[in-house]
Amino acid sequence: MKFDLHCHSTCSDGTYAPTEVVQRAHAAGVNVLALTDHDTLAGIDEARVAATACDMQLINGVEISCEHTLSGGYGKNKSTKKIIHVLGLDFIDRDKMHATLQQLQDSRATRGQKITEKLSELLSLDYEELWQAVLDKAGGNPQGVGRAHIGQVLFERGDVKTVQKAFDKYLADNKPAYVAIDALSMAEGIELIHACGGKAVLAHPTRYHLSATRVRKLIEEFAGLGGDGCELPATSEPISTRRMVDRSIAANNLVASVGSDFHGSNMPWRRLGDVPVLTPDQQGVWQSFTTLG
């Protein structure tokens, strides 16, 4: 069985509709897929129809933006507040999940507009024109606007040389156009997932611009708050990084999860089904899924 438990569609910041994401996953040999759009369940029904047609299994999934303050360190690094992504997998109570996430989605819509306002001032651009371009990139859905959409627009307009440069210069945390997002705490995110009958997995632990010490601390704190599993680093990451995460997963009695974090043409290096392999002593989070038939 081939699993991919982390991917995105046009319902958040991906470039392909849910049906096409499923079809591409099927073509890549994936048997069990979780569509994990940011703070929304909007694509799940469409994805499930496509999965049934492809004789694949679709697991309920979502990627929740959670705030968490990591303590420790010295001087100016004594504590750091981060947006940490927590995957909710195989949950059953979609109504409860949707109601909570809708509040976050509402804030996401206004956040996109606030970032665009800041950029229009920084770059002396017409706000209405820029916002319309961002909206078009997000399929006309203001609640679906993510920083990746805005970065893509800046790149296509020629305001930056690459999408990454847009983040480095304007959009990344604490950069001039950054706007914080309303978020649950990491503890609240885990509690919500459990209350909905799902498993809580720490997404891509090595992608938060943290030192190795802090990555280990994040995994430890996630486990301490009741988290169930940790996503393994991408196959493109160094073997030393993978081994560090493996040790932390074992030390904190977590299960492992795998996902490509596929977004589509805006991040072509992330491919559906391109996921790491568990070590012989690791247990996959899917081994405790209740809806896996």
pLDDT tens by residue, 55-80: 999 999 999 999 999 876 555 556 77
Q: Which residue range forms the structural domain that includes residue 145?
A: 111-171
What is this structure's pTM? 0.79
Residue listed under structure tokens 């994040």: 218
List strands edge to edge, sheet with 229-231: 184-185, 61-70, 80-89, 199-202, 229-231, 255-257
Q: Of 33-42, 97-106, 204-213, 222-231, give the lowest mean pLDDT range.
A: 97-106
Asked if the structure places residue 176 within a domain, the reply is no
| Domain match, 156 and 20 both | no
pLDDT-based confidence at residue 115 (cuts at 50, 70, 90): very high
> By percentage, how much of the chain surpasses pLDDT 90?
81
Mean pLDDT of 191-218: 95
Last residue of a domain, which of 135, 153, 171? 171
DSSP string covering 60-75: -EEEEEEEEEE---SG
**CA pair distance 172, 160, nearest whole angstrom:** 14
Where do the H-state alpha helices sit in the chain? 18-27, 44-53, 94-122, 127-137, 147-157, 163-166, 186-195, 212-224, 239-251
pLDDT digits (tens, 9 = 90+) for 235-285: 999 999 999 999 999 999 999 999 999 998 888 789 999 999 999 999 999
Asked if the structure places residue 54 within a domain, the reply is yes
pLDDT of residue 174: 85
User: What is the rounded average pLDDT for all residues in the chain?
Assistant: 93
∠ Cα 202 63 291 (to 5°): 85
- In this predicted structure, the answer to whether residue 183 has a pLDDT above a threshold of 90 is no
pLDDT of residue 31: 97
Q: Of 40-44, 116-120, 173-177, give the lowest mean pLDDT range.
A: 173-177
pLDDT of residue 267: 84
CATH value at residue 247: 3.20.20.140
pLDDT of residue 15: 92
| Domain match, 194 and 95 both | yes
Query: CB count, 10 Å around CB of 189?
Result: 27
Mean pLDDT of 109-116: 90
pLDDT of residue 207: 93
Residue of higher predicted confidence among 264 and 231: 231
| Domain match, 128 and 220 both | no
Q: How many domains does the chain have?
A: 2
| Domain match, 195 and 269 both | yes
